Amino acid sequence: MLLDFVIAPAYAQQDSPGTGDLVFFLVFTVLLVAIFYFLLIRPQRKRMKQHQEMVENLQVGDEVMTGGGELGRIKQLGEQFVRVEVSEGVEWTIKRDMIGEVLSEGTLAEARSGVEETTTQSGGKNA
């Protein structure tokens, strides 16, 4: 009793009204993280893995589209760089990671023939 003046006695506490808010906040946060994981993070990792596999499996002669949308055929492969023929006699050296996709065989010839037809139909000259 004498110590009551120095040390405050410990009483059992009542359940505070804010406890339900804390549980709701934690559940909401966990659900939000789960939604972000399944809708954003997981699909992005899957796309990155597929792109990495595609880049590792590149071969000389593959028809490819670069990240910028240019079409070409692979002429040389290096560890980090690829030599791509974008037009007859015109070759570019680009980073392997900048290959956007591998096209099916014949797509390059089809695309080049489509470009020539468009210029002749509009009255222009073939390049």
- Tens of pLDDT along the chain (127 residues) come to 566 666 766 666 665 665 678 888 999 999 999 999 999 999 999 999 999 999 999 999 999 999 899 999 999 999 999 999 998 889 999 999 999 999 998 888 888 887 654 444 555 555 4
Please state, in angstroms and rounded to a whole number, the distance separating the CA atoms of residues 118 and 89.
22
CATH code assigned to 58-121: 2.30.30.60
At 77, list the tokens. 């492969």
Domain boundaries, the chain: 16-54, 58-121
Please state, in angstroms and rounded to a whole number, the distance separating the CA atoms of residues 78 and 93.
10
Where are the alpha helices (H) located in the chain, listed in sequence order? 19-36, 42-56, 107-121
Please state, in angstroms and rounded to a whole number, the distance separating the CA atoms of residues 68 and 50.
19
At 22, list the tokens. 């804390």
